[in-house]
């Protein structure tokens, strides 16, 4: 007689059942440990789906996970399916019996015994038939649906029994907790990235605002804004175009991100770029409609004006609006990463474009306040303030500064002969000659009437005398156009005085330069003289 060993079944089927339970328990335990340590959603989906495929005997397995950005259930991983078809599965939750069953949290058959779909209208509408599933298993965490596991028919063709569904449901519970953790981790990561981006954007806006408050050089301010704009959206190139009110053409004023030599020439005004009409190309349309445009591929967009030299792949063009009027456009192009411009990029650039418009508008208003309308030179009040500032700076750093006072010779007689209209034309033309000849650092002004003044920072009397002589020769050689088509000749007299040699304050320096100018007139005019103590006052 065979003695029965305690705790050991003599029935083979009972033994297999016991072994199956031990294996299932071990699988659950190991899977739970593995999944909870994985934060990468793709790896998590692959390991979970593979485990289900190995233990369920299903022909196909698919995993759909809720995407917090798209607010939809999207395909993540599958085994046994045509991936090219399945990868496009995406659906949002709606009202109806199908969704109530899905949110019930229990596995349920998606097909009846005859192979027909339950909820067929919904399945066909959402394109879920490509999953070729028989069983759907909701992935629930605290009554929140985080995803769906789908199982195709079993390899042996038999239906799923209760034990198999319970086991699969337990696997799904393990996976749901891990997926929930991964989703929360994604949310934290995205929130951290978004916060970092917002901080960067605020930093950019702060830097630009600070520059607007403290930089008095318009070109430098615009270049800084361009640099900040390019950096903020990771773009290669940028430009600012202003609308010429007289010609109604858009003209490039500053540019960044092109060949350094060409960039310098354009920014210094030594090279002209192609001018664009209103309504022409993207920039022209933006200026005309006062609506921004994004072109993701300039090669495929007819709105973009083609140019072999432009080398623009994608571009955001934004209107510059001041006092409800478009004064120009800002262009930011060629994302370095090759990616598309995002809505966040455009939002930031719109704000920066607003800053550009404010900067230009303020500069224009300031220019109107400190410049003479006829000659476009600085007015007397501005001249005296700048001369005062330069003298203080030169005292601090022990540098010289010089002043040239000039007078158009016999200007009253000229007015009497040719009329005041011709006289005004001569003043305006002479001012243009001055602006062309003097250095960028020099400050040409209209002192009053037919008198002009030029402040020459960090220039001694000798250097100022050379500059004065250049001005004199240029004016003397120039053919002034007469109102009747004739050519007129004009000469000027110039008096030079320098700090600290001839005066140590504004009034003292003006007085000495005026004495030198008077000496020119006494000496026959059309000459330049440097102040000398032997010269007589008027």
In whole angstroms, give the CA distance from residue 339 to residue 530: 63
H or E element at residue 218? helix 218-233
Q: What Cα–Cα distance (Å) separates residue 12 from each residue in 5, 18, 26, 101, 411? A: 14, 10, 21, 39, 126
CA 513 to chain centre: 50
The tally of CA atoms less than 13 A away on the side-chain side of residue 40 is: 4
Catalytic residue among 54, 344, 450, 469: 450
CA 309 to each of CA 1, 167, 236, 262, 304: distance values in angstroms, whole numbers, following the listed order: 101, 66, 15, 12, 13
Question: Rounded to the nearest 5 degrees, what angle is found at the Cα of 214, between the Cα atoms of 209 and 218?
Answer: 85
Check if 474 is active-site: no
**Backbone phi and psi for residue 254, each to the nearest 5 degrees, phi listed first:** -140, 150
* Terminal CA-CA length for the chain: 148
The string of DSSP codes covering 345-393 is: HHHHHHHHHHHHHHHHHHHHHHHHHHB-TTT-SBPHHHHHHHHHHHHHH
d(CA 510, CA 495): 10
For strands 492-499 and 528-530, give the pairing.
parallel
Q: Within 268-339, where are the H helices?
A: 281-289
> Which residues are annotated as catalytic?
450
């Amino acid at each position: 007689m065979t003695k029965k060993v305690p705790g050991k079944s003599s029935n083979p089927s009972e033994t297999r059942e016991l072994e199956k339970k031990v294996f299932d328990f071990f699988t659950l335990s190991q899977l739970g440990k593995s999944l909870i340590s994985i934060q990468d959603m793709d790896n998590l989906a692959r390991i979970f789906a593979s485990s289900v495929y190995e233990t369920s005997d299903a022909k196909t397995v698919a995993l759909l996970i809720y995407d917090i950005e798209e607010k939809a259930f999207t395909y993540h991983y599958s085994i046994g399916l045509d991936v090219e078809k399945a990868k496009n599965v995406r659906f949002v939750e709606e009202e109806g019996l199908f969704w109530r069953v899905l949110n019930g949290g229990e596995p349920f058959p998606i097909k009846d015994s005859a192979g027909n779909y339950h909820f067929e209208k919904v399945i066909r509408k959402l394109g879920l038939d490509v999953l070729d599933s028989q069983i759907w298993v909701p992935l629930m965490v605290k009554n929140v649906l985080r995803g769906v596991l789908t199982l195709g028919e079993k390899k042996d063709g038999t239906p799923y029994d209760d034990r198999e569904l319970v086991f699969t449901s337990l696997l799904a519970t393990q996976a749901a907790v891990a997926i929930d953790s991964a989703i929360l981790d994604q949310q934290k990561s995205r929130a951290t990235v978004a916060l970092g981006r917002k901080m960067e954007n605020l930093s950019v806006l702060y830097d630009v605002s600070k520059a607007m408050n403290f930089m008095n050089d318009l070109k430098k301010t615009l270049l800084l804004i361009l640099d900040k704009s390019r950096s903020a959206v990771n773009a290669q190139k940028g430009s600012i175009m202003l609308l010429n009110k007289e010609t109604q053409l858009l003209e490039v004023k500053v540019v960044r991100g092109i060949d350094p030599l060409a960039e310098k020439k354009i920014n210094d005004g030594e090279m002209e770029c192609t001018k664009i009409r209103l309504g022409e190309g993207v920039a022209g349309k933006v200026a005309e409609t006062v609506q921004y445009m994004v072109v993701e591929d300039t090669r495929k967009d007819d709105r973009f004006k083609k140019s072999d030299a432009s080398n623009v792949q994608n571009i955001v063009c934004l209107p510059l609006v001041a006092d409800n009027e478009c004064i120009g456009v800002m262009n930011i192009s060629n994302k370095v990463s090759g990616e598309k411009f995002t809505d966040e990029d455009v939002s930031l650039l719109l704000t920066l474009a607003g800053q550009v418009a404010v900067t230009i508008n303020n500069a224009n208003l300031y220019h109107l306040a400190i410049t003479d309308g006829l000659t476009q030179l600085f007015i007397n009040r501005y001249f005296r303030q700048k001369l005062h500032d330069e003298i203080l700076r030169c005292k601090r750093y022990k540098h010289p500064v010089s002043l040239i006072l000039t007078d158009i010779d016999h200007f009253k007689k000229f007015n009497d002969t040719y009329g005041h209209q011709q006289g005004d034309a001569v003043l305006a033309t002479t001012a243009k000659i001055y602006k062309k000849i003097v250095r960028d650092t020099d400050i040409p002004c209209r002192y009053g009437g037919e008198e002009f003044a030029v402040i020459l920072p960090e220039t001694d009397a000798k250097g100022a005398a050379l500059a004065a002589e250049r001005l004199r020769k240029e004016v003397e050689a120039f053919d002034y156009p007469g109102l009747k088509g004739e050519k007129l000749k004009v000469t000027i007299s110039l008096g030079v005085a320098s700090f600290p040699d001839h005066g140590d304050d504004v009034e003292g320096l003006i007085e000495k330069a005026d004495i030198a100018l008077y000496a020119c007139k006494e000496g026959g005019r059309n000459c330049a003289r440097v102040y000398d103590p032997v010269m007589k006052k008027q």
